[in-house]
Structure 1
Amino acid sequence: MRPSVTIVIPFYNCGYVNQALQSALEQTYGPLEIIVVDDGSTTHTEMLQPYLPYIHYLGKANGGTASALNHGIRHASGEYIAWLSSDDTYHKDKINNQVSFMVEQGTYISHTNFNLINQYSQITNPQAAAVFPSMPEFYRFFQQGNPVNGCTVMFKKELFTHIGLFDELLPYTHDLDMWYRVMLAGYPFPFLNEPLVNYRWHDEMGTQKHWPAVEREYNITQARYRDRFSQLLNGLSS
């Protein structure tokens, strides 16, 4: 029997959520559960109506993406969990290919390549992820940026019992904080070089609208892990 998967979609006032949901429903994999966590939306909620018979809808007060993800993870029944932002979309084989990859690798977490798309869903940069020749090179890149797109990541739910959920005090860098905890705990973080996510770059995205705050928080998160991660890097061989 194939392992079950839950897709968690945090939703807050996003006019692209119908496209995200459609891509989740068109997955070729099963058994599959889709959870939409409405993080206190005041607009675009009518877009959810046609999909309600096919999803689990969870409403909550506004608390940010990390709190919405955690709420979905706590309610997820799947052995594996995938994160899909409400403005992005999945390739139809995303779940199938990534589960197969993770079972083959025997890993608790993985990430994939992705395409950049615009507000009209046109691909503007295919296979946009940075590809590294080795795991040490991938790790070293964290000293200058975050090379992992969160919506390409799949987790075994069991992982969260070992390293905890997303840090809800970090509205912008909860993903980077999680990747550091994964690596420092000794979990491999393999890369599937297939563009299985369409990542939408548009004017309303949080990183665009709140860049000064994002940058400040990024620097704080980097400082939090700098010493421990440097020790990890020193132990790696190319």
Structure 2
Amino acid sequence: MKPKVSIIIPFYNCPYIEQAIQSALNQTYDQIEVIVIDDGSTMYAERITPYLDHVHYLGKANGGTASALNHGINMSSGEYVAWLSSDDLFYPSKIEKQLYFMLEHNARISYTSFNSINEKNEITQMDVTPRYPNSIDFYRTFLNANPVNGCTVMMRRDFFGRIGMFNESLPYTHDLDLWYRALLNGIHFHFLGQSLVAYRWHEEMGTKKHSEAIKQEVAFTMGKYKPSLEWLISQME
């Protein structure tokens, strides 16, 4: 029997939500469940109505993306979990290609490359993700940046049993925090070098609206894990 994959879509006042849902439903892999977590939205929820027969739609009080992801993961039933932001898109073969890649490599977590798009779904940059010649160079990148786009990631369910869930106290760096914990627990990130996600840049995105707060939180999160990561890298050299 083919493994089920749960696609978690956190939603908060996003005008692109129906495009994200449609991209999840358009997957070539048929053993999926799509779970939309409404994180206390006050706008655009009506755009989900046409899809209610095809997705699990769950509401909750506003608590941020990490809390929405954790709620979706806890309510999901798939052996694998993928995260899709409500303003981004999965290309049709995303789940199928990434799942079989993970099965082939017995991976707990994997990530892919992606294309950047604008408000009109026009590609502005292709194949964005950098390549690393070895694990040490990949680990070193985490000392100053986050090289893994969360919406390209797929995780096996036992990944969370090993290192825990997203940190709900971090509004912006919950993904980076989780990646650090994975690295420090010896979990290898497998990279599939294909662009299987469209990552949307637009004026209302959190990355632009909250840039200063994000910089401060990134500095805090990196500072928390940097000494342990530096020690780990020294053991790898």
Which TM class, normalised by the smaller chain length?
over 0.9
Q: Does residue 1:234 correspond to 2:229, yes or no? A: no
1:26 aligns with 2:48: no
Counterparts of 2:94 and 2:136, CA distance in 1: 26
Q: Answer yes or no: is 1:117 the counterpart of 2:131.
A: no
Q: Normalising by structure 2, what TM-score?
A: 0.99
What is the match of residue 3 of structure 1?
Answer: 3
Contact 2:144 2:222 in 1 (8 A): no
Q: TM-score, with normalisation over the residues of structure 1?
A: 0.98
Q: Map Cα deviations across residues 143-189 of structure 1 (whole Å, 9 max, x no partner).
A: 11000000000000111111100000000000000000011000110
Task: Give unpaired runs (5+ residues) of structure 2.
Answer: none
Deviations 1:66-109 (A, max 9, x none): 00000000001000000000000001000000000100111100
Matches within 5 A, 1:173-212: 173-212=173-212
Indicate conservation of the 8 Å contact 2:19/2:89, yes or no: yes
Secondary structure (helix, strand or coil) at the match of 2:189 reads coil
Identity of aligned residues (%): 54
- Paired with 1:204 and 1:64, the residues of 2 have a C-alpha distance of 16
CA distance in 1, matches of 2:235, 2:204: 41
Partner of 2:96: 96
Instruction: Check whether the contact 1:5–1:30 (CA below 8 A) recurs between aligned residues.
Output: no
Count of residue pairs brought into register by the alignment: 237
Does structure 2 conserve the Cα–Cα contact (< 8 Å) formed by 1:65 and 1:171?
A: yes
Give the Å deviation of 1:30: 2.1
SS in 2 for 1:8: strand
CA distance in structure 2 between the partners assigned to 1:94 and 1:154 by the alignment: 10
Whole-angstrom distance in 2 between the partners of 1:26 and 1:218: 34
Mapped partners of 2:154, 2:70: distance in 1: 14
For residues 79-94 of structure 1, what are the structure 2 equivalents within 5 Å? 79-94=79-94
Q: 2:159 is matched with which residue?
A: 159
Deviation beyond 3 Å, 4+ runs, structure 1: none
Does structure 1 conserve the Cα–Cα contact (< 8 Å) formed by 2:38 and 2:60? yes
5+ residue gaps, structure 1, are: none
Q: CA separation in 2, counterparts of 1:167 and 1:82?
A: 17
What CA distance in whole angstroms lies between the structure 2 residues aligned with 1:36 and 1:198?
18
Q: Secondary structure at the match of 1:58?
A: strand
CA RMSD of aligned residues (A): 0.6
Task: Give the equivalent residue in structure 1 for 2:55.
Answer: 55
